[in-house]
Chain A
Amino acid sequence: MGSARLYLAVAVGGFRRYASYRAATAAGVFTNTVFGLILVYTYLALWEERPGLGGYDQAQAVTYVWLGQCLYATLAIQGGGAEKDLMDRIRTGEIAVDLYRPADLQLWWLAGDVGRALFQMVGRGVVPFLVGWLFFPMALPGEAGLWAAFAVTLLLAAVVSFAIRYLAALSVFWLMDGMGVSQVLMILGVFCSGMVLPLNAFPGAFGDVVRWLPWAAQIQVPADVLMGETAVPGAFAFQAGWAVVLLGLGRLVQSAATRRVVVQGG
């Protein structure tokens, strides 16, 4: 499989590239730890008032917070992964270089983004999670099976996250500017992934809708899988379903974009 080796090399490159941003990583670790602390105390106060909110007890709420901090950069919840580079490349015309290569554009960027995600998890996400684990009571499973399912669900979450951001980035072929799209992406990402509050805690029809949107595949579903709050096969199906739909949509838009592509600049 020649092309598997190519995309593996791209993923390794994505990992190593982010590993070279040492200062940014250190700053990220610090920010996520501080934010985690703030959120934990907020959640504890909230769960004190509303015990069992969203079906979580206090330890689960705390676990949810630290998981969110761990996945925040990993899944580029606020944006800032592959889509940012891709938007820049489309806008400046650098995309020409990517297009004449004998490689699939979407797989190329997916591989790079998965490499990035892996580094962000190891280099930036693990520390806040460990801090949480050391200083707060957390609801973590003992069985290896759940941890394995959690690993799979994280990979699927990374793919869904990429697929959403890839679609957003392609819009720049038409819009010529990614600022507006990035802002919408950021708000939707932070809110609809459950970064602020678990989606399980959202009431009524609104909660039902948010829990069915693809963003739910990112923090809510992995958290529920890890804490044994949801059936694993259903969670996989939900994530994989969105991954297939969004990647497929991405391919359609990509071929429309490259057919009418107007590569900028000389």
Chain B
Amino acid sequence: MDTNGRVGAVDPFIELDGVEKVFEVRRKTGFMRRERHRVRAVDSISFAVARGEMVGYIGPNGAGKSTTIKMLTGILTPSAGRLRVAGIEPSRERTRLAHRIGVVFGQRTTLWWDLPLIDSYRLMHRMYRIPDARYRENLDRLVELLELGSLLDVPVRQLSLGQRMRGDIVAALLHDPEVLYLDEPTIGLDVVSKAKVREFLRQLNAERATTVLLTTHDLQDIEQLCSRVMVIDHGRLVYDGALAGLHESGESERTLVVDLARELPPIDAPPPARVVRVEGPRQWLAFPASESAAGLVARIAAEYPLVDLSVREPDIEAVIAKMLHGDSHGKEVGRPVP
């Protein structure tokens, strides 16, 4: 294997170097007339992920996250660049690699729709040629951890979204993959299901050192699971570093929602906090995510007829949006990518 040890990854398990994916799209431009144009879904991306890392891969819709994951599984061939997973070029040796990776596409299912859950697992048993003892052991452990015991004989189409997602996660892990790609594994799940999935992933990574690459639109997934986050936008990697750095680099803000006893002019808040919206007796104040809300709250409580309040965390899209279009200095934090 190669030894061009990149910064941040001693044993690069996943390695991308200048990877691009260009789609040719034909678009109707009139009667019988079509115009070809190219969509650069992934544009010269380079990163490395070490064995056992848990990395968040985030970005707005259409940024190129799913396309990257498809290339990492080998079902899409990069248009340019070099890509290795466990030393294997995915698109060339898709089948060999498949035995070493697990994939969960949150919006799709690998499970047999009309058949009981257990049938899909039996199929995985054969497909990945899992030795019988190990299959049984893994199945028991995963089914218990993800609380699917009572659902094994239920046809997949009768499962709720959260149950189905947990079912898919089990299916992806029965063959003990070294790396798990998760493309929006918490999409559409309620708070309880999300918490279960997150707790499970944390354990998986901690106890089995499974490398995890996680795509999500839920900032809490990242906050609770990933020490490292990569941000992609328009196919380009625009940030690669700690989550904290992302907040700073995006100068992200939290929002304090204040209900006053009556309609009043905008609250006179100490900068950088400021009122961003007023609706009757309710006012919205933005303040830096890095600062505590306590001082601000105390001051408002002392000077205004406060009835109720709540603090809203910045959402991931807002953080990224600020980072991408916001002002200058943030780009130096973390390990920004040119």
Question: Do A and B truly interact?
Answer: yes
- B123 close to A10 (CB less than 8 A): yes
How many residues does chain B have at the interface if contact means C-beta atoms less than 8 Å apart? 36
Known: A261-B75, A263-B75. A96 touches B127 (CB 8 A): no
> What's the A-B contact tally at a CB cutoff of 8 Å?
70
- A20 close to B126 (CB less than 8 A): no
Q: Report the separation of the CA atoms of residues A129 and B70 in the bound assembly, to the nearest whole angstrom.
A: 48
Q: Report the separation of the CA atoms of residues A99 and B109 in the bound assembly, to the nearest whole angstrom.
A: 13
The yes or no answer to A103 lying at the interface (CB within 8 A) is yes
The yes or no answer to B76 lying at the interface (CB within 8 A) is yes
- B122 close to A96 (CB less than 8 A): no
B213 smallest CB distance to A (angstroms): 14
The yes or no answer to B312 lying at the interface (CB within 8 A) is no
The yes or no answer to B216 lying at the interface (CB within 8 A) is no
Known: A6-B127, A10-B123, A259-B77. A97 touches B66 (CB 8 A): no
A83-105 contact mask (Cβ, 8 Å, vs B): 1 or 0 = 00000000001101101111100
Within 216-266 of A, Cβ neighbours of B (below 8 Å) are at: 258-259, 261-263, 265-266
- B127 close to A263 (CB less than 8 A): no
Q: Which residue of A lies closest to B101 (CB)?
A: A100
- B95 close to A102 (CB less than 8 A): yes
> Which residues from chain A contact B74 at a C-beta distance below 8 Å?
100
The yes or no answer to B115 lying at the interface (CB within 8 A) is yes
The yes or no answer to A155 lying at the interface (CB within 8 A) is no
Q: Which residue of B lies closest to A2 (CB)?
A: B129
Known: A96-B108, A97-B109. A263 touches B70 (CB 8 A): yes
Interface of B is mostly: mixed
Q: Report the separation of the CA atoms of residues A232 and B282 in the bound assembly, to the nearest whole angstrom.
A: 86
Known: A96-B70, A96-B105, A266-B66. A13 touches B77 (CB 8 A): no
A111 smallest CB distance to B (angstroms): 11
How many residues does chain A have at the interface if contact means C-beta atoms less than 8 Å apart? 26
Q: Which residue of A2, A9, A258 has the most chain B CB atoms within 10 A of its CB atom?
A: A9
The yes or no answer to B73 lying at the interface (CB within 8 A) is yes
Q: Which residue of A21, A93, A96 has the most chain B CB atoms within 10 A of its CB atom?
A: A96
- A100 close to B112 (CB less than 8 A): no
- A9 close to B75 (CB less than 8 A): no
The yes or no answer to B110 lying at the interface (CB within 8 A) is yes
- A100 close to B126 (CB less than 8 A): no
Within 57-98 of B, Cβ neighbours of A (below 8 Å) are at: 61-62, 65-67, 70, 73-77, 94-96, 98
B-contacting residues of A (Cβ < 8 Å)? 2, 5-6, 9-10, 13, 16-17, 20-21, 93-94, 96-97, 99-103, 258-259, 261-263, 265-266
Q: Could you jot down 16 A-B contacts, CB within 8 Å?
A: A2-B126, A9-B126, A10-B123, A13-B123, A20-B114, A96-B105, A96-B108, A102-B98, A102-B99, A103-B95, A261-B76, A263-B70, A263-B76, A265-B107, A266-B66, A266-B67
